[in-house]
Amino acid sequence: MKRIAVVTSDVPFVEGGHLVLARSTVRALRECGHEADLVLTPQNRFGRQFRAYLATRLTDVGLDGLDRPIDLVISMRFPSYAVKHPVHVCWLNHRLRDYYDLWPALRAQLRPAGRLKEGLRRRLIHALDAYLLKHNVRKVFALSATVQTRLRRWGRIPAEVLYPPAPQRAYRTDGYEPFIFTVSRLHKLKRLDLLIEAFRLVKNKAVRAVIIGEGPERDGLRARIRDYGLEGRVTLLGGSDEAALLDHYARCRAVFFCPYNEDYGFVTPEAFASGKAVLTTRDSGGPAEIVRDGETGFIVAPSPAELAARIDLLADDPAEAERLGRNARAASAAFSWEAVVRRLTLEA
């Protein structure tokens, strides 16, 4: 049995997937007999990132509250891997993506002086991350092959892929009702607009879409639904509790999850655990690594027409949705928290 600190960064009032992963990891460690707790470090806003790195570096993770030694640190999201501990592994969600794969989009928004300033900041963050992930941690695990590729491209940082299972919830399958379900933060990178655009083209008028989530794109998505006359077919439910979330997973025909170049995303394993196929796109990153086209869901181009065609197929053929769902549930059995704990604790 080990005493383990799981460390990740925190943004106040934002409950992101990284916190779900961190809490699930703590629970899995405890269920495997370890003492584990969660340590949250700051993730400062733009212009103050280096203060967050420094504050994290100065966070004491050598002892617990009773001054007993902590045997292992598992860090996750930037800049949590700046903590110092002699036995430190990193299960990386992602680095600060705006300075990595999303840099072209950020740079395009900046004026020339801002490009110079942020370009310098980007180079410093690259150097700092490379040093920390090569010299401050004993081993790096990547959440997906997408994250592994980013590490290799920016920093030549070696990492092993370690996919997380679905969070520990009471998943079930209650049927395959005629609606497509998705849960996501309403953000541009999650591309909920693709689902709305697809429903303009869906021929089967009996099938609906249900979206659970909050975020900055809410008003824009509502306006698009209204402008397209889809109020009776696409529903934005806003936030939700766990019971409602599991209920929608359990009853839906299939799950839509088409973010852009996602690190991983728990929607896919949660859908699989609920016996539901996943509709995703070739450029979705982590989801496209997990879904097997035609077996556990569909992988298409990020095209409303292609998505609409697959939605119509599932709407017209519930038996096909059920077949894919059975395959998805079987695939979810390959993901085990016990196996994850063995690897993170360097026992396998």
Give the pairing type, strands 234-238 and 254-256. Answer: unpaired
Q: What is the mean pLDDT of residues 73-81?
A: 95
Ramachandran category for residue 229: left, alpha or beta (phi over 0 → left; psi -120 to 50 → alpha): left
Spatial CB neighbours of 11, under 8 Å, sequence gap ≥ 6: 43
pLDDT grade, residue 17 (50/70/90)?
confident
Beta bridge partners of 7: 39, 75
63 CB neighbour count, 10 Å cutoff: 12
For residue 212, pLDDT over 80 is answered with yes
Q: What is the mean pLDDT of residues 131-139?
A: 97
Q: From 177, 226, 185, 197, select the one nearest 307 (Cα to Cα).
A: 197
Name the CATH superfamily for 179-332.
Glycogen Phosphorylase B; (3.40.50.2000)
- 60 vs 173: which has the higher pLDDT: 173
Q: Give Cα 192 to chain centroid, integer Å.
A: 15
Q: What is the mean pLDDT of residues 88-106?
A: 95
Spatial CB neighbours of 52, under 8 Å, sequence gap ≥ 6: 9, 41, 42, 43, 44, 79
Give the pairing type, strands 179-183 and 208-212. Answer: parallel
Contact 329, 166 (CB under 8 A): no
pLDDT at 169: 96
Give the whole-angstrom CA distance, residue 249 versus residue 253: 9
Q: What is the mean pLDDT of residues 43-56?
A: 82
**DSSP class per residue in 104-137:** HHHHHTS-HHHHHHHHHHHHHHHHHHHHIIIII-
Write the class of the CATH domain 3-162: alpha beta
- Two tokens, residue 247: 């209920």
Q: Using alpha carbons, list the distances in angstroms from residue 122 to 98, 118, 125, 146, 176.
A: 9, 6, 5, 20, 47
**DSSP class per residue in 171-207:** -------SEEEEE----GGG-HHHHHHHHTT---TT-
- Is it true that 3-162 and 179-332 share their CATH fold? yes
Average pLDDT, the chain: 94
Give the whole-angstrom CA distance, residue 193 versus residue 4: 41
Q: What is the mean pLDDT of residues 163-186?
A: 96
For residue 267, pLDDT over 90 is answered with yes
pLDDT at 45: 65
Domain extents in the chain:
3-162, 179-332
pLDDT at 244: 96
226-256 pLDDT, tens digit each: 999 999 999 999 988 999 999 999 999 999 9
Ramachandran category for residue 81: left, alpha or beta (phi over 0 → left; psi -120 to 50 → alpha): alpha
Beta bridge partners of 139: 89
